[in-house]
Amino acid sequence: MLNAVLWGLVQGLTEFLPISSSGHLVLVPAFAGVDQPDLATSAVLHIGTLVAVVAYYRQDLLKLARFNRDPDSRRILKLLALGTIPAVVGVLVEDQVGSLQESTTAVAIALLATSVVLFVSGLFMEGKLTLERLPLRDGFIIGVAQAIALIPGISRSGMTITTGMNRGLERTEAARFSFLLAVPAIAGAGLLQSLELAGSGGIPPEVWVGMAVAAASGYMAIAVLLKALARFGLRPFAFYCLVVGIISLVVL
């Protein structure tokens, strides 16, 4: 049960904070001397983070459901569709990329790369665009950034928020698009494997606990990130990734 709570907390906090959930699910077990959560458990934990983002952005999602009466909603749906294409293509190489999870060194180096990306975000001029005014091609470009984050240790939210800011989005608007774009990505990653797990004997009670912890901590992480982003930008998370990456290279 304690392991389920630990993995739920790690998944929930690191899925949305720009510090890489996939990287932490490799490094935390390595530091703690325990096994990584299996793929089925990870899938269920993803459902918890899906619940978190749907709950936090429920008003946006309800508005998108009324796209037939709202031109802005139709535009955002087009942006999300274009942004999801690269991730779908990325699934074709997911097995090869996923093999990097076997190397703590590779994950630590990827985390250092995330640190560089987050540091660079501070060099961009403050954007003014809202999501409703973002050019459609930029939705695809941000989607490419999301697909790169299939590499363990590369932060999905860090890549998409930084790229959104680079394309002229205001900070919190870049985060808004990042998290809305996470809905199909997280759902695709978690639902199928969860159904397979349920069909092979059911989901153990402790995994449900982990999912609930992931949902609660994920919701909190979104709120923390939005406040930190408005006040400090992404630099504090860049320092975190730098420190963890260096320590991981030296110790593991």
- Least confident residue range of 36-45, 110-119, 215-224: 36-45
Q: What is the mean pLDDT of the chain?
A: 88
**Computed over its alpha carbons, how large is the radius of gyration of the chain?**
17
Residue 169's SS3 state is strand
Q: Tell me the C-alpha distance between 86 and 88, whole Å.
A: 5
Q: What is the mean pLDDT of residues 139-161?
A: 94
Q: Which residues contact 235 (CB under 8 A, 6 or more apart)?
A: 118, 119, 121, 122
Written as six digits, the tokens of 233 are 């930008």
pLDDT at 205: 76
pLDDT at 94: 65
Q: What is the mean pLDDT of residues 159-180?
A: 95
Chain centre distance of CA 182 = 6
Q: Kindly report the pTM of this predicted structure.
A: 0.92
* Residue 192 burial (10 A CB sphere; 0-12, 13-18, 19+): exposed
From residue 65, give the alpha-carbon distance in Å to each of 6, 83, 186: 35, 18, 19
- Tell me which residue of 182, 122, 193 sits closest to 155, measured CA to CA: 182
* Residue 125 burial (10 A CB sphere; 0-12, 13-18, 19+): exposed
Span 60-113, pLDDT tens digits:
999 999 888 899 999 999 999 999 999 887 767 666 666 777 889 999 999 999
pLDDT at 96: 66
